[in-house]
Structure 1
Amino acid sequence: MKIFVRFLVALLLLGAIFGGIFGYKFLVQFQPPEGAGEPRPANITAAEVETLEWRGQRSAVGGLTAVDRVNVSTEAAGTIDVIRFDSGDAVSEGDVLIELDKSVDNAELAGLETEAELARIEFERAEDLLPRRAISQSEFDVARARLDSAEAAVQTQQARIRQKTIEAPFDGLLGLREVSVGQFLSPGSSIVELRQLDPIYADFTLPERFLSDVETGQSIRVSTGAYGDETFEGEITAIESGVSPETRSVPIRATLENPEGRLRPGMFARVTILEPMTREVATIPSTAVSFNTYGDFAIRINETDEGLTTERVQIETGETRDGRVEVTQGLEPGDRVVGAGLVKVRPGQPVTIDETMTLDPDEVSGR
């Protein structure tokens, strides 16, 4: 009996020893490390609220129009003898484009010139006989009238012949040729389209409420789908005298220099009207703003005794230009905000700033 009791006591002691050892190891293994209950700092990219000078502007859409545009045609009927241009040629005022056959007209001119010469001789004879009373005044008047009529017929035929040489009415760029050698043209037949490209017009409209904000001489910038973000400078040269009753908008015309002919009539144009004055605005990258139905916000970085922490700040925004957003309320110049990845940062969370990363404005704006 005593042996059994001793054996039981030994087992209990061993169990207590091993239980203590295993319990200690369990506590050490599963005990959370010091500071584990605190939020871990997030590594973020910071952006500063910058003050920029922005020029006031309004946006509109429109189209490009040639200063002068005409379908070159013929005044006189005839058969094409010579074509002196190719499609797409640049021409100057007075350049010959088409010559119609003039053989019959030249023959008629020769006959009329002969008649005019005969009338001149008869008139000179009458002019010599009149002082000697060899002819009457009425006979002299008839001779002078015949000379005038013959000379007028010659001039008319010369003008008809000149009409058979078709020239460029102004400097410009030709379109596609619509005729061929040997083709008969009736008066008004279209030969080729000619457009003047330098300068070129940009026509657009603005709502009538902005009429007081625009005036002739005001600067504009134009961009087109053909040249991406490249812009072309110009100025407003004409404002329509009335407002369209259908759209309540005002047609406006601007003029742009186009020496290389890169801008073409018919292009879609995005027009920015620049106001003469500039203003200072506080701006942050667009990636630093969370745009929300119930209000926009940014996450400001505050310096505290414990380090850098974040704070969610409600802001009011204005215009957006080149990847930056105007902040009209909520932030001050010099404040620092989380520049990107707002969804990964919680208000009140400690943060560290990654100084090796910077926000490229071109990447932000998608250019």
Structure 2
Amino acid sequence: MKIFVRFLVALLLLGAIFGGIFGYKFLVQFQPPEGAGEPRPANITAAEVETLEWRGQRSAVGGLTAVDRVNVSTEAAGTIDVIRFDSGDAVSEGDVLIELDKSVDNAELAGLETEAELARIEFERAEDLLPRRAISQSEFDVARARLDSAEAAVQTQQARIRQKTIEAPFDGLLGLREVSVGQFLSPGSSIVELRQLDPIYADFTLPERFLSDVEEGQRIRISTGAYGDETFEGEITAIESGVSPETRSVPIRATLENPEGRLRPGMFARVTILEPMTRKVATIPSTAVSFNTYGDFAIRINETDEGLTTERVQIETGETRDGRVEVTQGLEPGDRVVGAGLVKVRPGQPVTIDETMTLDPDEVSGR
């Protein structure tokens, strides 16, 4: 029994010794370093509230329309003898596109010209005989009527022959050819589509409440899906006289120069209507704003005795352009804000600014 008691005491002593050793090592290993309770500074990118001059503008969507557009066709029936154009050619007014077979028409013209010449000779003879009372006045009138009729027949045939030469009615760009040599065309048959591309129209609509803000001569800027961020400028040249009762919007037409023909009819266009006056606005990058249902906010950077700290600031925003947001209330020009990554920064947290990184607002999108 004594041996058992001694053995139990020894085990308890050993346990206490080893427990003290392991407890000490645990405390040393997991003891927090000095200053660990303080928040660690976050490395951030800063952006400054900048004052810019923005021109007032309205946005709309529309489409491009050719100033003149026509399906070139024929007035006279006939078989195509010569085609003088290729698909996609640029043509000038009066350029010959198609010539129909004129052999029969020319033969008929020759016969009519012969009859007209005979009628002219008979009229001249009657004109010489009338003063000598060799013919009656009625016979003279008949000779003159025959001459007039013969000359009219010649002019009619000449016009019919001219109809068999189809010309471009205005300068423009041809579409795809729809006919072939030897094909018979009836009156009205479509040959090719011709569009005038310079200048070109941009047609769009605005809600009626903005009607008082637009006028002829006002500048506009458009962009299309084909050319990305590239823009083209023109001016408003016509405003519809009435408002659509279905949509309560007013159709508007602007005219743009298009010397290289890059803009094509049917293109979708995003239209920006520029107001003549500019205004100064305070702006920050859109990445520096947290947009949410309960109000927009930014995180301002304040200088304190302990260093730079952050503060959540409720702001009111306006327009968004080119990756920057207008701030109408909450921040002042010159204030610095956290430029990106707002979810990683807590209000009141100390920060350090990474001067090696800058934000390019043109590379970020708006709302």
TM-score w.r.t. length of structure 1: 0.93
CA contact (8 A) 2:321 2:366 kept: no
SS in 2 for 1:187: coil
Matched, 1:246 2:246: yes
Deviation at 1:34, TM superposition (A): 1.9
Deviation at 1:31, TM superposition (A): 3.2
Tell me how far apart the structure 2 counterparts of residues 304 and 126 of structure 1 sit (CA, whole Å). Answer: 120
Q: 1:95 to 1:2 in 2, by over 3 A?
A: closer
How many residues align? The count is 367
Tell me how far apart the structure 2 counterparts of residues 175 and 289 of structure 1 sit (CA, whole Å). Answer: 49
Does 150-159 or 32-41 show the bigger shift?
32-41
Tell me how far apart the structure 2 counterparts of residues 266 and 15 of structure 1 sit (CA, whole Å). Answer: 90
Tell me how far apart the structure 2 counterparts of residues 273 and 152 of structure 1 sit (CA, whole Å). Answer: 57
Tell me how far apart the structure 1 counterparts of residues 166 and 8 of structure 2 sit (CA, whole Å). Answer: 130
Runs of 4+ in 1 over 3 A off after TM superposition: 1-31
Alpha carbon RMSD of aligned pairs, Å? Answer: 3.1
SS in 1 for 2:159: helix
| Deviation by residue 1:88-124 (Cα, 9 ceiling, x = unmatched) | 1111000001111111111111111111111111111
Tell me how far apart the structure 1 counterparts of residues 175 and 53 of structure 2 sit (CA, whole Å). Answer: 45
SS in 2 for 1:205: strand
CA contact (8 A) 2:325 2:366 kept: no
Any gaps of 5 or more consecutive residues in structure 1? Answer: none
CA contact (8 A) 2:324 2:366 kept: no
Q: 1:81 to 1:17 in 2, by over 3 A?
A: closer
Q: 1:46 to 1:161 in 2, by over 3 A?
A: same
Tell me how far apart the structure 2 counterparts of residues 314 and 135 of structure 1 sit (CA, whole Å). Answer: 111
CA contact (8 A) 2:320 2:366 kept: no
CA contact (8 A) 2:299 2:312 kept: yes
Deviation at 1:231, TM superposition (A): 0.7
Deviation at 1:363, TM superposition (A): 2.3
Q: 2:92 corresponds to which residue? A: 92
Q: 1:128 to 1:290 in 2, by over 3 A?
A: same
Deviation at 1:35, TM superposition (A): 1.3
Q: 2:274 corresponds to which residue? A: 274
Q: 1:134 to 1:279 in 2, by over 3 A?
A: same
SS in 2 for 1:365: coil
CA contact (8 A) 2:62 2:271 kept: yes
Deviation at 1:148, TM superposition (A): 0.8
Q: 1:340 to 1:131 in 2, by over 3 A?
A: same
Tell me how far apart the structure 2 counterparts of residues 103 and 18 of structure 1 sit (CA, whole Å). Answer: 124
Q: 1:115 to 1:28 in 2, by over 3 A?
A: same
Q: 1:365 to 1:5 in 2, by over 3 A?
A: closer
Deviation at 1:27, TM superposition (A): 5.0
Deviation at 1:2, TM superposition (A): 18
| Deviation by residue 1:50-86 (Cα, 9 ceiling, x = unmatched) | 0000111111111100000000010111111111111
Deviation at 1:132, TM superposition (A): 1.0
| Deviation by residue 1:102-157 (Cα, 9 ceiling, x = unmatched) | 11111111111111111111111111111111111111111111111111111111
Q: 1:11 to 1:295 in 2, by over 3 A?
A: closer
SS in 2 for 1:3: helix
Q: 2:185 corresponds to which residue? A: 185
Deviation at 1:20, TM superposition (A): 8.6
Q: 1:2 to 1:264 in 2, by over 3 A?
A: closer
Deviation at 1:3, TM superposition (A): 18
TM-score w.r.t. length of structure 2: 0.93
Tell me how far apart the structure 1 counterparts of residues 17 and 98 of structure 2 sit (CA, whole Å). Answer: 118
Tell me how far apart the structure 1 counterparts of residues 18 and 266 of structure 2 sit (CA, whole Å). Answer: 92
| Deviation by residue 1:269-305 (Cα, 9 ceiling, x = unmatched) | 1111111111111000011001111011000000011
Deviation at 1:365, TM superposition (A): 3.2
Q: 1:212 to 1:18 in 2, by over 3 A?
A: same
Tell me how far apart the structure 2 counterparts of residues 106 and 15 of structure 1 sit (CA, whole Å). Answer: 130
Q: 1:333 to 1:132 in 2, by over 3 A?
A: same
Tell me how far apart the structure 2 counterparts of residues 70 and 227 of structure 1 sit (CA, whole Å). Answer: 27
CA contact (8 A) 2:73 2:191 kept: yes
Q: 1:146 to 1:44 in 2, by over 3 A?
A: same
| Deviation by residue 1:5-45 (Cα, 9 ceiling, x = unmatched) | 99999999999999998877665444322211110111100
Q: 1:151 to 1:36 in 2, by over 3 A?
A: same
Q: 1:304 to 1:136 in 2, by over 3 A?
A: same
Tell me how far apart the structure 1 counterparts of residues 241 and 6 of structure 2 sit (CA, whole Å). Answer: 120
CA contact (8 A) 2:203 2:254 kept: yes
Tell me how far apart the structure 2 counterparts of residues 285 and 220 of structure 1 sit (CA, whole Å). Answer: 25
Q: 1:111 to 1:11 in 2, by over 3 A?
A: closer
Tell me how far apart the structure 1 counterparts of residues 19 and 83 of structure 2 sit (CA, whole Å). Answer: 112
CA contact (8 A) 2:315 2:327 kept: yes
Tell me how far apart the structure 2 counterparts of residues 2 and 110 of structure 1 sit (CA, whole Å). Answer: 154
SS in 2 for 1:314: strand
Identity between Structure 1 and Structure 2 (%): 99
Q: 1:68 to 1:13 in 2, by over 3 A?
A: closer
CA contact (8 A) 2:223 2:270 kept: yes
Q: How does 1:135-150 map to 2 (within 5 A)?
A: 135-150=135-150
Deviation at 1:253, TM superposition (A): 0.3
Q: 1:77 to 1:37 in 2, by over 3 A?
A: same
